[in-house]
Copies of this chain bind each other. A is one copy, B any other.
C-alpha cells in the first residue's frame, strides 16, 4: 500500500502542535546545584543592595561641603572623631568639621555624605588635612544603588550562570525554583544487538544507540534512563515500553522501525495508550522510518537502528522536544557558509541530510566535503563529520562549488 510520508516541515509542524508540551513543572533546589538550570520564577528583590550606603575606598568619611576649596597647598582641616570598621553598624556620627576613618565596604556614618581617599589626606593625631575637595556622594555606593527592593533582577526561563547565582546569593537565597529536567528512557531493539561488555557472537553487533542516545540526552540537558537492549519480540517490547513510560517523561527507542517483518515498535506503542502514533515515517534521508507517538502526554520517539541516522534524527527531532519540556529555549544551531567540494545528490522527494567535513579551500570559504559513509550502517560517520547540509525536497543535487549552509553539530550539542 502506498502511503505518502509526511515531509520534514510537516512533521515539525505536527510536533509543534500535538507535542506542544508545557514544561514539566518546577522544583526548588539548592543554589549550588543550579548551574545551567532554567529559572522557574521571576526573582524580585526583597532587599536594597547595598542595604546601607558604603564607602568604595579606604579613607575618611566627611561632609562634602567641609572640603570645598581644599587644594594641595590649602588643605581643609578636620577633626577625626573615630573609626568605622567593615561589618559594623557605625556607633558614631559626625558633625560639622568632623571626620571618621573608614575602610572600603564599611557603612557611611550619620552626618557624612562623601569619602576622601586616604591618599589625599595627611593626619597628625586627631587633626586631618584634606588636600582635595570631594563632591556629595563621591566614593560612596548608595543604599539600593545596585539593586532596588522590588526590582525584577532575574526572569523565568533564564539559564542560570555564575553571575546570576551570585545575584541570588546577594539577595540571601539558598534555594531557587527551576524547571524540572525531563527523564528520558532510552532503549534499543534488534535481534542482532548485544549489550557492550557481553560476548559478541557470530552475526551480532554491539549496541551503540542506547549509549550514544543516552549521552545525547545529557547533552540536551535531559536525564537519561538507560534501559539497554530489548528483545525484538512483542511481549518483551511491550513490557519494556510500559516500564519506560512508567518511569520516564519521554521514551526514545531505536531499531525495529524499518519496513521489514519484525517492525513491532509502532504497533506496540499504539497498543499502550492514546493518541498513539502521530507521525509514522518522515520523507527524509536518512531517518525515513522515524515514528513519533504520544502516550497520554508522554512522547515516544522511535528512531531508526542505524547509529548515524538515529543520532541525526535525535538532534533534529528529539532534542527540541526535550528542550521545550525543560522550559529551555531551543538551542541556536551554529551554521557556516561553505562551498560544496563535489556534487551531492538528494533522495528526490525527500529532505536529504549529507554529513560533511569542513576542509580549507582556495577561497576564504571552507569546502564542505561529504563524509564517506561506506554504508548507512557506518558508525564513525558522525564522529568524522563537522556538520550536515540539508538538501530541499525539490532539488536534484547540489553542484560542485555551490554555496551551501553547514549546520555545525558539536556547537548544537
A residues contacting B by CB (< 8 A) are: 31-32, 34-36, 47, 49-52, 54, 56, 58, 85-90, 103-107, 139-141, 145-147, 153-154, 160-174, 190-193, 196-197, 200-216, 218-219, 224, 226, 258-260, 305, 307, 311, 374-380, 382-383, 410, 413
Contacts and interface: CB of A to CB of B under 8 A. Distances in A.
Given A191-B86, A206-B172, A226-B32, A54 B377 contact: yes
Given A88-B203, A202-B89, A196 B208 contact: no
Nearest to A226: B32
A382 to B, nearest CB: 4
Closest 8 CB pairs of A and B: A166-B212, A87-B192, A89-B202, A87-B191, A169-B211, A163-B382, A56-B375, A174-B197
B163 A87 contact: no
B89 A215 contact: no
A97 to B, nearest CB: 25
A408 B103 CA distance: 33
A139 B376 CA distance: 10
A200 B413 contact: no
B380 A153 contact: yes
A73 to B, nearest CB: 25
A47 B200 CA distance: 10
B89 A141 contact: no
B173 A377 contact: no
A127 B215 CA distance: 47
Given A32-B224, A383-B163, A200 B169 contact: no
A261 B107 CA distance: 17
Contacts of A206: 169-172
Contact of A31 (B141, B191, B211): B211
Contacts of A193: 87
Given A89-B201, A166-B212, 9 more contacts: A50-B377, A87-B203, A105-B377, A140-B375, A165-B215, A166-B208, A167-B383, A169-B206, A170-B206
A42 to B, nearest CB: 15
A219 B161 contact: yes
30 contacts: A32-B211, A32-B226, A35-B218, A47-B200, A52-B202, A86-B190, A87-B190, A87-B193, A87-B203, A87-B204, A90-B203, A105-B205, A140-B375, A146-B374, A146-B378, A147-B380, A154-B383, A161-B219, A162-B213, A163-B307, A163-B383, A165-B215, A166-B209, A166-B307, A169-B206, A170-B206, A170-B307, A170-B379, A173-B196, A174-B196
A170 B307 CA distance: 10
A382 B167 CA distance: 10
Contacts of A209: 166
Contact of A375 (B58, B141, B147): B141
Contacts of A86: 190-192, 203
Contact of A197 (B87, B172, B204): B172
A375 B57 CA distance: 10
Contacts of A165: 211-212, 215
> Which of A31, A86, A103, A260 neighbours the largest number of chain B CB atoms within 10 Å of its CB?
A86
A61 to B, nearest CB: 14
Contacts of A162: 212-213, 215-216, 219, 311, 382, 413
A52 B206 CA distance: 12
A1 to B, nearest CB: 16
